[in-house]
Amino acid sequence: MINSKIIATGNYTPSFILTNEDISKFVDTNDEWIVSRTGIKERRIATDEDTSDIGTKAALEALKSSGLEAEDIDLIIFASITGEMLTPSMACIVQKNIGAINATAFDINAACSGFIYGLTIAHSLISIKQAKNALVIGAEVLSKIVNWEDRNTCVLFGDGAGAALLSASEEKGIISLYTKSVGEKGDSLECGALSLRNPFAKKEEIQSKDNHVIMDGREVFKFATSAIIEAIEKVISDGNCSLEEVKYIIPHQANYRIIDFASRKLNIPLNKFYINVDKYGNTSAASIPIALHEMNNNAMLQKGDKVIIVGFGGGLTYGAALIEW
Ligand code: UT7
């Protein structure tokens, strides 16, 4: 069995900061409510860059610190729900932007679990020798699909991108992976796209979906708290590891209260969880790779450290990975 290891990370977040105070000027909300219910203080908003642009910047940073050349990349997986094009894919645009001429490139849609799903596919392709050096990118410009008049959702999301370079390795890296989907609960977190549109379409049959994020927050909260526990326990047991051996858990950054719940339920000190939701809000597929890069950049991750990444979100989807750094 060929192992795969994360050899480099990168991230990029737009410079424009939107604070809770700023949002309270156009919807009926306030800093106290947002901080106490979510932990979010501010988020980044893209003003002159789209999803492929910020994904490219994160990818370039990972590539630069890896010491590899763009030609060495043979797989690019781009996880997002906010790509600016249906075709070419975001992954193919990144391929062009960075000059990764030898890569196979494609997008995946698993919402906030996208980075974990992408890592799973990359690891699997590496293990069957279909790839050696894979760029897995999570990038979102959620500000495009947020309803800025809906206080229930507009305070939650932000824009950003993160990337990791996964390479075939003799050393241990990805120890165990777990992904699962719950399609029957998909309507608790929705955003419509293109509805049926052709000269033969029966107008009376067409129900176009709102192309903004609509969420049943309480339902998703319930799902998230059970999914996070299940996924962590699964990768721990599949990896023959104990929670005590794990140095950090890097959860999807949706809500501070979800992370706090997991910490209490699993009896793991909160300081083992990496939290940056205060600075970026929920950046969906980008949140885990943004956090991973921050930790890597701050030398929080040393060779041999065991960490868990865990995500949950639209689909509904969830998953986790136990990783030896
Ligand atoms: O990445 C995908 C995963 N997504 C998630 O994990 C999100 C999971 N859900 C959540 O994080 C929480 O459910 C929310 C943060 C979305 C909402 O928190 P909550 O504690 O579940 O609040 P709620 O929806 O039950 O609303 C409580 C009250 C309501 O007022 P009433 O009906 O009790 O009078 C809301 O209208 O808070 C009100 N409210 C607000 N008030 C001020 C909702 N949004 C706001 C707001 N400012 N922005």
Reading phi first (left if > 0) and then psi (alpha if -120 to 50, else beta), residue 306 is in beta
Q: What is the pLDDT of residue 207?
A: 78
Residue 79 contacts residue 285 (beta carbons within 8 Å): yes
pLDDT in tens, 114-155: 999 999 999 999 999 999 999 999 999 999 999 999 999 999
Q: Is 112 a catalytic residue?
A: yes
Q: Residues 6 or more apart from 169 whose CB is under 8 A from it?
A: 2, 3, 4, 5, 7
pLDDT band at 183 (very low <50, low <70, confident <90, very high): very high
Ligand 1, from 23, 34, 37: best to mutate by most atoms within 8 Å of Cβ? 37
Ligand 1, from 155, 221, 261: best to mutate by most atoms within 8 Å of Cβ? 221
Q: Is 191 a catalytic residue?
A: no
Residue 222 contacts residue 258 (beta carbons within 8 Å): no
3-171 matches 175-324 in fold: yes
201 C-alpha to ligand 1 centroid (Å): 38
Q: Which CATH superfamily is domain 175-324 in?
A: Thiolase/Chalcone synthase (3.40.47.10)
Domain ranges of the chain: 3-171, 175-324
Q: Would you say how long the chain is, in residues? A: 325
- Please tell me the pTM assigned to this model: 0.97
Q: What is the pLDDT of residue 209?
A: 85
Is the pLDDT at 206 greater than 90, yes or no? no
pLDDT in tens, 37-86: 999 999 999 999 999 999 999 999 999 999 999 999 999 999 999 999 99
Q: How far is CA 143 from CA 14, 78, 227, in A?
A: 12, 18, 26
Q: How far is CA 121 from CA 104, 116, 178, 179, 275, in A?
A: 13, 9, 11, 11, 26
Q: Is 293 a catalytic residue?
A: no
CB-based pocket (< 6 A), ligand 1:
29, 33-34, 37-38, 112, 151-152, 155, 217-218, 220-221, 224, 254-255, 258, 282, 284, 313
Structure tokens of 283? 């950046």
Average pLDDT over residues 143-168: 98
215 C-alpha to ligand 1 centroid (Å): 10
217 C-alpha to ligand 1 centroid (Å): 6
Q: What is the pLDDT of residue 45?
A: 98
Dist. CA 292–CA 262, nearest whole Å = 19
- Helices assigned H by DSSP within 146-216: 151-154
pLDDT band at 240 (very low <50, low <70, confident <90, very high): very high
Top-level class of domain 3-171: alpha beta
